Structure 1
């Protein structure tokens, strides 16, 4: 393959880069596929997402172009995977793939997440010359750090409130996903607390349905958690799903605080960045961020978002816990992608701010995935949630919790799973069941 590399290409409306070092810029990396002239398409994308349009317009003078136009910083050819292109793509050549880096003057948008999204993920996906486009990474300038507080609790604050100083925070999801009433939910949480669970979350499908109203569920579950807190010496963290309209979420947050809760949960793609930002600015609790719907944004290898780029938006807006799927998960995602996503959560978003967030492993997790998760991540700063892997244990919920904790203790200590099972009947039964 003939590799083509263009460095520092201005878009067609830019003729000068004078004093560019004095201007704060937003930088975004893409993977571009095209069947057209790659340089022309890159310039078209840059123009479409800044000052340009399909024809010169009155007022589009040189000074405006120099001030407002996006710039093609890099265009480097990489191997193409020969998959089908997006419908309606123009060009007669075979599809080729490129690493594309664009930059924008921050004076175009200011430190605003909604306007950042309009800039970096707007009409460019619809351009005929674009046969595929994936947002690979976003490099946020410092003005965003000043405008958005980021996570309020992150890893350290979550550990403090959950009473888990080291090792994974072992958790589960209320199952069945929907169908339990408040009393049924509280009964399950009672058994989980009795078994020594660290963390319980509502399913994303259960927020404020008529069969299980938010306030009734919160009241019933917190009564159980409070009853167990003295015996456990800590309060089990319950991420109660308050997803809704902004005013509803803020009201529900306050109810959780009044009830003595220690965490709230939202569905990110349902409430949007503006909803999460409003909740973060109001919240005095960690925010557990569920990524349901991620597949339509990230599953395609040639279009949409990489998790690395996408998760930065939510961390900036204020998420403390970010779902990353799980090893050997029940969905489409390969293990390597899961590990890369989790490691991204454990990196600071800004070098001088302690804003690492807890990766949340879920989706078909059992005692069988504890060792490979720890070995591949190389860290135990995580929330490990198993639904069926706990509540479907043949010996009951408490045995499910015990088996998962024993599996993780063995993983961190470097003890093979089979060897650890010789000293744990619950773990041995779990291996028989889930192995």
Structure 2
């Protein structure tokens, strides 16, 4: 791959020759359509057409993975295309000059109408590869891993975080009081839930002020700054105002629901504020859960990292969602890998959903990195002895894995961990 091209890898399923479909795909997403048009000269095609770099044919299947009206219309016209349905992995090379440093157009180029093509009964964007020069034309993390560690004062271990619970419903003052308890408990990071942005019962302005009073009081007393990811998901101008408010109150982080804000809004927010940008992935399952449709995490997170996010949700091991542990591990490794060789643009993986002290050993065993944000909502706030004991139980679990000691042995001298193992372990 040279400096003038980027590559996308696709998994396709089709009743046709995969080589033919690969050319349809390349033409559709560059300078072609279903028939060659006036002005589509050989010189223009040489300059602007995407090219198929490789085709790896995989196993065939007897039935299509997805419904397809195009095939139904062919059958009705007496031109049926029956199986087998052939699967293949394609690598397609695109000219950088077709796109430039335009993130929404980059996303449209590598996905666009492809999921609607009649020639396919399955299509998934698996990965993106960018030359370093091209990646550097987009936004970089403003804080990333090193900046987040510097702001929170956490070095040499994972950050321990939690989520405001109940997800929505607390007043601004109640949220501030909970933040004060969590700060005192020793947590490093607190975030809003994705469904709580600017509700009537806890307007964002009031919530930011109440929470930051607690954060500042704790910092004045202990010197410890607790990072709070305020959910500022909104329309673009509102998000900029919200970020300014958080910064004015001494905050260090804001959160956005990436899929629902959109690339342009997140880029605008990134360029407006130096605060850490916590990227929430809610809605990603709709784009990824079917194995023959949508985006792999590597491709999805690549596009969002070009918008300059600092943290990225990857879900959690043995969690409550549908992802396998292997997928969670691969996603975390994706966020920690540079988007192009030689660059320092890793973002902090946020491990979350169904996490508690008991999932710490597996998290360490599989990820083998302390560069992560380990977040636990119920695992902290539902601890039978209260949130402070919940935080302590997770701190103790990470101390145990750092020492190479099984949790049950370490818990003999760690009552908060002992209680967590008995309480949450019985519900597993």
* TM-score, length basis structure 1: 0.93
Q: Is structure 2 residue 172 aligned with structure 1 residue 192?
A: no
Going from structure 1 to structure 2, the CA distance change for 1:430 and 1:28 (only over 3 Å counts) comes to same
Residues 34-77 of structure 1 deviation map (CA, whole Å, 9 limit, x = unaligned): 11121111111111111111222111121111111111111111
Q: Is structure 2 residue 201 aligned with structure 1 residue 211?
A: yes
- Unaligned ranges ≥5, structure 2: 72-80
Superposition pairs for residues 145-294 of structure 1, below 5 Å? 145-294=135-284
Q: Is structure 2 residue 48 aligned with structure 1 residue 61?
A: no
Residues 200-247 of structure 1 deviation map (CA, whole Å, 9 limit, x = unaligned): 000011111111101000000000111111333211111111111111
Which residue number corresponds to residue 107 of structure 2? Answer: 117
Whether the 8 Å contact between 2:279 and 2:309 is mirrored in structure 1 is yes
Which residue number corresponds to residue 5 of structure 2? Answer: 25
Q: Which moved more, 1:359-368 or 1:137-146?
A: 137-146
Per the TM alignment, residue 82 of structure 1 is displaced from its structure 2 partner at its CA by: 6.2
Which residue number corresponds to residue 341 of structure 1? Answer: 331
Going from structure 1 to structure 2, the CA distance change for 1:302 and 1:241 (only over 3 Å counts) comes to same
Superposition pairs for residues 249-398 of structure 1, below 5 Å? 249-398=239-388
Q: Distance in 1 between matches of 2:60 and 2:144?
A: 38
Going from structure 1 to structure 2, the CA distance change for 1:83 and 1:178 (only over 3 Å counts) comes to farther
Which residue number corresponds to residue 51 of structure 2? Answer: 71
Q: Which moved more, 1:225-234 or 1:282-291?
A: 225-234
Match of 2:290, SS state, is coil
Aligned residues: 415
Residues 325-354 of structure 1 deviation map (CA, whole Å, 9 limit, x = unaligned): 000110111000000000111111232322
1:52 to 32, 48, 51: 32
Q: Distance in 1 between matches of 2:148 and 2:280?
A: 16
Whether the 8 Å contact between 2:131 and 2:340 is mirrored in structure 1 is no
Match of 1:317, SS state, is coil
Q: Is structure 2 residue 37 aligned with structure 1 residue 37?
A: no
- Unaligned ranges ≥5, structure 1: 1-20
Q: Distance in 1 between matches of 2:365 and 2:357?
A: 14
Per the TM alignment, residue 362 of structure 1 is displaced from its structure 2 partner at its CA by: 0.6
Match of 2:306, SS state, is helix
Q: Which moved more, 1:246-255 or 1:61-70?
A: 61-70
Q: Distance in 2 between matches of 1:304 and 1:359?
A: 22
* TM-score, length basis structure 2: 0.94
Match of 2:136, SS state, is helix
Q: Is structure 2 residue 125 aligned with structure 1 residue 135?
A: yes
Match of 1:147, SS state, is coil
Match of 1:177, SS state, is coil
Residues 312-334 of structure 1 deviation map (CA, whole Å, 9 limit, x = unaligned): 11111111000000001101110
Which residue number corresponds to residue 402 of structure 1? Answer: 392
Q: Distance in 2 between matches of 1:156 and 1:188?
A: 28
Match of 2:201, SS state, is coil
Match of 1:57, SS state, is coil
How large is the RMSD of aligned CA atoms in angstroms?
1.4
Per the TM alignment, residue 115 of structure 1 is displaced from its structure 2 partner at its CA by: 0.7
Match of 2:312, SS state, is strand
Which residue number corresponds to residue 107 of structure 1? Answer: 97
Q: Which moved more, 1:336-345 or 1:189-198?
A: 189-198
Going from structure 1 to structure 2, the CA distance change for 1:364 and 1:131 (only over 3 Å counts) comes to same
Whether the 8 Å contact between 2:96 and 2:134 is mirrored in structure 1 is no
Residues 83-124 of structure 1 deviation map (CA, whole Å, 9 limit, x = unaligned): 742211633121121110111112211121111111110111
Going from structure 1 to structure 2, the CA distance change for 1:338 and 1:81 (only over 3 Å counts) comes to farther
Whether the 8 Å contact between 2:196 and 2:231 is mirrored in structure 1 is yes
Q: Distance in 2 between matches of 1:353 and 1:361?
A: 24
Residues 369-406 of structure 1 deviation map (CA, whole Å, 9 limit, x = unaligned): 00000110011110011000000000011001100110
Match of 1:130, SS state, is coil
